[in-house]
Amino acid sequence: MNEFEVSRRRFIGASAAAGGLAAATAKTAHAAVAQTSAAPVRTPEMADVTLEVNGRRHPLSIEPRTTLLDALREELRLSGTKKGCDRGSCGACTVHVDGARVLSCLTLAARCEGKAVTTIEGLAAEGELHPMQAAFLARDGLQCGYCTPGQIMSAIALVEEGRAVSDDAIREWMSGNICRCGAYPHILAAIKDVAGSGSRS
């Protein structure tokens, strides 16, 4: 065996050992991060609340200033509710609280204790889409889809409030939900389908 072969074998062995060490280190670090995120450090300011979301009760320990949006996304991992402007201007974070539409980025989670919260994830029942979800798909009422959950939540409330009486009324009562893709005509058609004031032709 020549000197080149010995050096080559040592190099390959050292590389394999280094690779194994790196993988083990990464696995340990990942486990440490997962353990940290699973068990957040409790501070004296944190409050215990129980949120009823999509028919299930969730006990949480959160800071009193935590918004409903952050509680849904960060604590309950319900990422369907989108964080857009985070200041109540775009409507992407719209959810229902006791049947009424609210902007979850402007709503404190602690204020929702004892109330029923419904998100986009809670609309489908037994594998069947909500009629508004189906109408959005049939009418192609979405492009990038980022605003779609908030649009659908607002649209459902709009119909249930009895405000879908004309195209202008629908546009006015949906004006708090912004679509950067400009799918407004398709959204309008979907709402009219569900409200019974439009056709699928």
Residue 103 near residue 154, CB atoms below 8 Å: no
Looking at the fold, whether 94 and 150 belong to one and the same domain comes out as: no
Q: Which residue has the higher pLDDT, 55 or 35?
A: 55
Looking at the fold, whether 31 and 50 belong to one and the same domain comes out as: no
Over residues 66-82, the pLDDT tens digits come to 999 999 999 999 999 99
pLDDT band at 90 (very low <50, low <70, confident <90, very high): very high
Over residues 121-144, the pLDDT tens digits come to 999 988 899 999 999 999 999 999
CA distance 148 to 104: 15
Q: What is the largest CA-CA distance in the chain?
A: 90
Looking at the fold, whether 107 and 85 belong to one and the same domain comes out as: yes
Per-residue pLDDT, averaged over 25-31, amounts to: 51
Looking at the fold, whether 31 and 46 belong to one and the same domain comes out as: no
Residue 188: closest CA among 149, 145, 146, 159: 159
Residue 193 is part of which domain span?
127-201
Give me the pLDDT at residue 5, please: 52
Looking at the fold, whether 11 and 66 belong to one and the same domain comes out as: no
Looking at the fold, whether 112 and 137 belong to one and the same domain comes out as: no
**What's the domain count of the chain?**
3
pLDDT band at 30 (very low <50, low <70, confident <90, very high): low
Centroid of chain to Cα 57: 18
Q: At which residue do the structure tokens 């062995």 appear?
A: 13
Looking at the fold, whether 63 and 27 belong to one and the same domain comes out as: no
Measured in degrees and rounded to the nearest 5, phi and psi for residue 141 equal -85, 30
CA distance 47 to 62: 5
